[in-house]
Structure 1
Amino acid sequence: MKRIIILLLCVSAGNFTTAQEIVQIPHEKAAGITWEGSEKAYYSKLWENDVVTNVSIPTMEVFRPENPNGVSVIVAPGGGLYALSIKSEGTDVAKWLNQQGITAFVLKYRLVPTGEDGVQEISDEAATNPARIGERVAPVLPFSYADGLAAIKHVRENADTFKVDSRKIGFMGFSAGGAVTMGVAYNYDKTNRPDFLVPVYPWTLVMPVQEVPRDAPPMLVICASDDPLGLAPGSVELYSSWLKANKPIALQMYAKGGHGFGMKNQGLPSDDWIKRFHEWAIAQDIIIPSAAE
Structure 2
Amino acid sequence: MTFDRRTLLALPLAAGIAPAALLSDAAGQSATNGSVSRGARLAGDPVWPPAERFALWPGIPAGAPTPLPRPRPMITGRPGGYRDVQMRGVVQPEVGVFRAARPDGRAVLVCPGGGYSITSLRNEGIDVARVLNGFGITVFVLSYRLPGEGWADRANVPLSDVQRAMRLIRANARRYAINPETLGVLGFSAGGHLAGSLEIHHGLEVYRPVDAADRLSARPAFAGLMYAVSNMDPGRSHGGSRAQLLGPNPDPAMQARYAIDRNLRSGDAPLFLVHAEDDDTVPVANSLDMLAAARRVDIPVEAHILRRGRHGFGTRLPASSPGSLWPQLFDRWMREAIGPEAPL
TM-score, length-normalised on structure 2?
A: 0.67
Structure 2 counterpart of 1:42:
74
Match of 1:158 among 160, 164, 172: 172
Amino acid aligned to 2:324:
D
Task: After TM superposition, give the deviation of residue 231 of structure 1 in Å.
Answer: 2.4
TM-score, length-normalised on structure 1?
A: 0.78
Match of 1:105 among 126, 140, 149: 140
| Richer in helix (by share) | 1
Structure 2 counterpart of 1:243:
295
| RMSD over aligned Cα atoms | 3.1
Q: How many residues align?
A: 259
Which 4+ runs in 1 deviate beyond 4 A?
Answer: 10-15, 32-35, 136-139, 285-288
Match of 1:215 among 267, 281, 293: 267
Tell me the distance in 2 between the aligned counterparts of 1:35 and 1:76: 26
1:20-99 correspondence to structure 2 within 5 Å: 20-26=51-57, 29-31=61-63, 33-34=65-66, 36-45=68-77, 48-99=83-134
The answer to whether the Cα contact below 8 Å between 2:182 and 2:338 also exists between their aligned partners in 1 is no
Amino acid aligned to 1:62:
V
Structure 1 counterpart of 2:182:
168
The answer to whether the Cα contact below 8 Å between 1:70 and 1:103 also exists between their aligned partners in 2 is yes
State the SS of the aligned residue for 2:73: strand
State the SS of the aligned residue for 2:262: coil
Tell me the distance in 2 between the aligned counterparts of 1:216 and 1:112: 26
Structure 1 counterpart of 2:313:
261
The answer to whether the Cα contact below 8 Å between 1:53 and 1:83 also exists between their aligned partners in 2 is yes
Structure 2 counterpart of 1:178:
192
What percentage of aligned pairs have identical amino acids? Answer: 25
**Distance change >3 Å, CA 53–CA 168, structure 1 → 2:** same
Match of 1:196 among 201, 218, 222: 222
Q: Which runs of 5+ in 1 are unaligned?
A: 1-6, 115-135, 289-293
Q: Which runs of 5+ in 2 are unaligned?
A: 1-29, 204-215, 231-236, 243-257
The answer to whether the Cα contact below 8 Å between 2:147 and 2:157 also exists between their aligned partners in 1 is no
Task: After TM superposition, give the deviation of residue 248 of structure 1 in Å.
Answer: 1.1
